[in-house]
Every structure is written in structure tokens, then in C-alpha cells.
A and B are shown apart, each in its own frame.
Chain A
Amino acid sequence: MTTLDTAVVPTDVGTVDLEATDLSSLEVEGRQVLVASFGQGMPLLYLHGLCDLHSVLAPEHPPTFLSALAGWGRVVAPALPGYPGSSPLGRLHEMEDYVFHLVDVLEALVLDDQPLAVMGHCLGGWLATELALRRPDLVSQLVLLAPLGLHVPSSGVPPVFGALAPRGVGGFAEARRILFSDPDSQPALAALPDDMAESQQLRWFGGLAGAAAIGWKAPHFQSRRLAQRLHRVGAPALVVCGGRDALVPAALRSAWTAGLAGAQALEVPDAGHALVLEQPGLADVVTAFLGWR
């Protein structure tokens, strides 16, 4: 295990020539899938998380982190089932169904590079790992940012959805507290403002329903089988976690790096769970790992 303990410096996004978001709607096995892509060049499949592109940010306004990546390659980001623009799970009840849905999406995307670099954040990190386990032939490199999905006996059952439950009055402070290192920081307040506009509430609650369909009964984003399978991930992997991530506590962070032998691991000491929103500077680490620079 390599630990990159470099301080993460924010990328100067002013120097990146941003491509406009390309939005398309795919039909995959009777389900609609909204796909946002940014940038040109080597493709990277990006699977989003609970508080991320598609879940709090409209695809037209990707987070700086993804825009920065798009200066080096092509980021292809489908909205997961149930998220705005994509059909709900329907008859997909289990991880098995979910992974094969992603395989269908990959086939429909007809990306040049197969196998492909896959990056997942939070919920997306779990899905990326499960995909890499079942279809190693499709995944060339794996980037996991604050991934959910792993269970260790000491980690307990995290009350994710309880903490994210709305309030009659008073906004989203509790959600910000579990997702961000600083609930009053600019990225936190921009993602989950207390006076959230109706359109953004629809995105947030609609997305949570999409996440609940796979995360509620795993139980609660913790597969009991993943730890024993993790050694089978063959693709070179980079795991990045925040040192103050309430959803991926220290025991789980260690379990990820212990399970993924040979993975590069980076812990950003002051970061919370919503790495993609809090840490745009990670783009430098990711592009270096992918060999894009």
C-alpha cells in the first residue's frame, strides 16, 4: 500500500478550458438513463454519490472537480437509477441487478476504450467496486472516492437515512454535518442550503429515493459479502478518503486499503464524505493516477 500524504491543493480551475456538458438520454433495456459527459479524450466512467453531480448538482453545473478532470480527458457520468433523468429501479432489487444494469449502460455507451477507467464516489464507489468484481474485463483502473459498501463488524449500522431525514422547519444542517467536514462551508451550503429551492428539493429527495432502493436494505450501504471478495479486484486502484468522513469511519477506511492489496491510498485529513464537492484539488491526484498527465 502506498500512502500519498501530499496536501491537496485546490486546482486552479481558471486555467482549465471547460467543454460544455453534453447531455443525452439513453434507452437501456426499457429504462431511460440520463448521461452527462464533459471534455475530450480518454474516457472515464464516473458513478456519482449521494451528494454529488445528479444528486444535488444539475448535470449542467458539474462540480469543479469534474470540470477540472474534463480538461484532461472525457468524463462520462450516467445518472444512477431513480435519480432525476433516469428511470427508477423497477424490478431491480439487488446489487446483482444493479451491476448488470451498469453493464447494459456501458454497452449502450459504446465507448472506445475497453476496458475502461471507472471512478466512483460514495454510493458510486461501491457500485464501481461491485462492477469490477463481476466484470473485471470491463475495468482497467478503479478510482474510489469515499466509497460506501463495505462492512466490518465493529462499524455498526450507520443511520444514514435517519440523518438525512427532512425537517419541517430548519433546513438541512444535519445532512450537511454528516456529509461535509464543515457544515457551514461554502460547498456544503451551496449543495444543501437551508432555503433549498423547490427544483433542488425535487432533485435531492428524488435522488435519495433512488439511493434508498439499493442502499436501504443492503443493509444501509454495507454489503456483508464485499470484504471477503475485495482481494479479487484486479485493476490498479486508487482509494481516497477524508479523515473526517462520518459515513466511512477509520475502521472502514483501513478495511478498504487492507482489502485492496496494492492499491494506492490517500487520506485527506480535513476532508469529510463529500470529497467531490469539498476537494476540487483531487483532480490532480486522479489525473496523475490515470496517467492523463
Chain B
Amino acid sequence: MNFFSFHLMPWPYLPPPRQFLAEHEAAWVTLPNTEYDPVRGRDLYDRYLGELVMAEELGLDGVVVNEHHQNAYGLMPSPNLMAAALTQRTERVKLCVLGNALPLYNPPTRVAEEMAMLDVLSGGRLIAGLVVGGGPEYYSYNVDPTEARARFSEAVELVLQAWTRPGPFSFDGEYYQLPYVNPWPRPLQQPHPPVWVPGLGSPGTIAFCAERGFGYMGVAYYAPPESFARQALAYHEAVSLAGRAFVPELLGWLTTVYVAETDEQALEEAAPHLAYFQGNLAAGFVGAGKVWMPPGYIEAPALVQFLAELRAMAGAPRPSDPKEAVWRRTPLVGSPETVRQRLLDYVKELRIGTVLSLLQFGSLPAELTAKSMHLYATEVVPYVRKEADDHFATLAGTP
């Protein structure tokens, strides 16, 4: 059982959601970058990196950084730079870059090179996340979204060959033609670092991971946990269809976590920052306003369904109990007892071997982040780890 600390490194200084949405359509693509203050940004990077270092000190298994462009949602256009900093500030934890958006790199051998550097720098601690990239990124980077999946698939092939095939060799693809593929350095982990792919439930991505033996990390911090459960079951099915043994660690749940002394306190402390996360930062990606989902990035029927779900979510009556309103989408907000029991239930039921916990979200300040991380690492993780490991051990060998 793996417990990772996932960080988005968001910009926390936007006005409250209601005011923000009156002034701006979205936090993505076109939110003026004059809203970013580099002086505050410097302190913020320092704080956020410190929170990932703290995850190691608290005994978690790994830390996760990720790539986003031109938004307030995540301030890591180059997650590899952050991972490089972490190679120097951590000693033990796995460093997961989840991921590099391959179609945005030309040639994608750049990713093979940088990730090999990170693997060597970290002494073989890299987990290589490879990703198609979010819809908004295609507007920001002006990459043809109708080619996104095909480019991604070819680029994965190129990166894997670059890591494993003795160079120099030539690569003759539909999108990438390279006479000399011969990256120095090569990764320390052989034949190559583990590959994880984040996804929102696209059947194509799930099947791709299952067939290739890649980890599938379900991104589920906006949707109710049922949405992730569907992804997890689809992954189980795809793995068995691919004729592979199920490895729990390769199924990950990316979810928001906040732990406080009591349920009431946790809900009260987390609520404004969850609202900022969902109302401000996710605007432009999900929500009532502009949805930066480019044509051809997903098939038209999937897009129509996605929009219908957004409308249903926006139109759904809010539960009258404010607790239920928070727990509907973020069940892992509560006391240590609540969070560990719920987490263990999901872990056992869905056989999730990796939990990527978003321990800082939205505008959650440093003190609350640190307090929650301590409680999570001391009161939740050891318990769930032991129970889950025992549970998986009894299941070992069963399909």
C-alpha cells in the first residue's frame, strides 16, 4: 500500500469564488497573468516544496508533482524543475511526475531525457507519469487537439524506446521522425522507471494502461467517489481482459484529504478552501462557465455527455445538510476515525494500492495544511496501511 502526497501548487490569492466568477470567466488559458505576483510566488514555491519535503519526514511513500500551463490552478508548467529540486531535498521518497504532457513536447525525446536525468539524480526514485495533457493546455500550447491521442500514443512508444533500446537508432513515426535517437543519460531503473498515467475515466486510457502494464491513476477530486469507483472497476476489467495479474499499486486514487480533530472542525476548516478549489481554480475546466475543451480532444458523444453531467451537477439541489454537501464530493474530510474508516473501505472494496492524497488544496493555508498532514500521517496512514496490506495479502493469488 502506497501513500503519496500530491501537490498542485495552486495560486491561492484570487478573490472569493462569487466575486472571481463575476470578474473572470475561468482560471485557465485567459486569466490575466498580471494576477500573478512573483514576490508572493517566491514564498509560495518555498512553502509548497517544504510541504512535499514534510511528506517524506512524516513517513509517506512518495510525492507527486504535475504539469499545467497558463492558469492559477497549478503553478508547475515544468514539473520536472520541481522534481529536480526535490531530488536535492529528499532522500527516500518516490518522486512521481504525473506527468509530462507528451504531445506538448516536440520532439518528445525531451521528456525521455529529462526523466532519465531525474531518475539518475534521485538515485532511481522516479515514477514517470506520461499524460495526454488537459483540454485547456491544447488552447494554451496551440497543439492540434484532434491529434492528441494519436500523438500521445506514438510519443509513449518513442519515449519507451529511447529508454530501453540501445542508441543510436532512427524513429520513423507518423508524427515524429528522428534520424538519431540516442539520449544521454539513460535511466537508472532498468529497463525503465515505472510508468503511471493519470486519467478521468476515458475507456481508451484505462485499456491502454492495462495492456501496457502501466499504473492508472484516477483523477477524482471534483466528482463524487462513485465516479472513481466506476474507473477502478473498469481498470480491473481491463487488466483481466489484457490477461495480466492485478497489481494493487498500479491502481491509484487521486483524492482530496483533510483531517482535523473532529468531523465538525475538519468540515469547518476545509470548507472555504474546497470552495476556492472548486469555484475558482476548477472554473474553466469544470463548472458553469467556459469549458476549455477543444474540439476533437474527446469524441463528440463523450463531450456531449460531459457537458450534460456538468449541467446536471450545476442544477442539482445542494444537500440541505452542509456536511453532506462537502462529503458528497470529498468524503475524506473529517476526523482521523472518519477518514481512516472511509479510506479503508474504498481501498478494500476497490483494491486500490496507491492513494495520491491532495493534502493542500485551493487556498488552504500553511498551518492548516501542516496540521492535517500530521494527523493524516500519524492517525490515518499507519492504520490503513496495515489493514490494507493484510487484506491484500489474503487476496494474493486470487483474480
Chain A interfacial positions (CB closer than 8 Å to B): 82, 88-89, 91, 93, 161-162, 164-170, 198, 201-202, 205-206, 208-213, 216-217, 219
Contacts and interface: CB of A to CB of B under 8 A. Distances in A.
Nearest to A200: B304
Contacts of A91: 174
A217 B291 CA distance: 21
Interface stretch (B87-95, B281-289, B326-334, B341-349): B281-289
B288 A212 contact: no
Nearest to A169: B288
B29 A162 contact: yes
B146 A209 contact: yes
A193 to B, nearest CB: 14
Interface stretch (B75-83, B250-258, B295-303): B295-303
A217 B142 contact: yes
B288 A216 contact: no
Interface string B133-153: 000000100111111000000
A212 B307 contact: no
A209 B295 contact: yes
B351 to A, nearest CB: 33
A222 B222 CA distance: 38
Most buried by B among A162, A202, A206, A216: A216
Interface of B: 29-30, 139, 142-147, 174, 286-296, 300-301, 303-304, 307-308, 310-311, 314-315
B146 A165 contact: no
B394 to A, nearest CB: 44
28 contacts: A82-B146, A89-B146, A161-B139, A161-B294, A162-B30, A162-B139, A165-B139, A166-B291, A168-B288, A170-B289, A201-B300, A202-B301, A205-B300, A208-B295, A209-B300, A210-B296, A211-B295, A212-B145, A212-B294, A212-B295, A213-B146, A213-B147, A213-B296, A216-B145, A216-B146, A216-B294, A217-B142, A217-B143
Contacts of A161: 139, 294-295
Contacts of B307: 166, 168, 201
B304 A201 contact: yes
A122 to B, nearest CB: 15
Given A167-B291, A168-B288, A216-B145, 14 more contacts: A82-B296, A165-B293, A167-B290, A168-B307, A202-B300, A205-B295, A209-B296, A212-B146, A212-B295, A212-B296, A213-B144, A216-B144, A216-B146, A217-B144
A115 to B, nearest CB: 32
Contacts of B315: 169
A202 B302 CA distance: 9
Contacts of A208: 295-296
Nearest to B308: A198
A195 to B, nearest CB: 10
B18 to A, nearest CB: 15
B292 A165 contact: yes
Contacts of B291: 165-168
A205 B311 CA distance: 17
Contacts of B292: 162, 165
Most buried by A among B144, B287, B295: B295
B193 to A, nearest CB: 32
